[in-house]
Amino acid sequence: MLFNSLILLLLSNAITSRRDKSILYSRATITILLISAFIAYDNLYLLFLANGVGIFGGLFHVTATTYFFHIFIFLITSVILLLTSFYPRKV
């Protein structure tokens, strides 16, 4: 969900040159990132991830630390987009 929606928003944002469309896309991306952070937090089960889960012979190794890192990245990205998702004030 996150990958598909972000690719769609990046492609549509690259095509348009109007500022108001870019702001709407940024707001939609903030919503997507916050929902993804909530889903990642909801799936966080610390007792199960204490030792970590490895798939494909350890290629993808998931621990509680990586889950917290993903949640942190989602929240920081949404805050950065929040700073640019409003109309500039005319002075």
Q: Is residue 23, in this structure, part of any structural domain at all? A: yes
Q: Name the DSSP class of 89.
A: P
Q: Is residue 89, in this structure, part of any structural domain at all? A: no
Q: Which tens digits make up the pLDDT trace of 31-82?
A: 888 888 888 888 777 676 667 677 777 677 777 788 888 889 988 988 888 8
Range of the domain at 78: 2-84
Q: Is residue 91, in this structure, part of any structural domain at all? A: no
Q: Is residue 90, in this structure, part of any structural domain at all? A: no
pTM above 0.75, yes or no: no
Please tell me the total count of domains within the chain: 1
Q: Is residue 74, in this structure, part of any structural domain at all? A: yes
Distance CA 67, CA 49 (A): 9
Q: What share of the chain is helix, strand, coil (3-state, %, to 5)?
A: 65, 5, 30
Q: Is residue 72, in this structure, part of any structural domain at all? A: yes
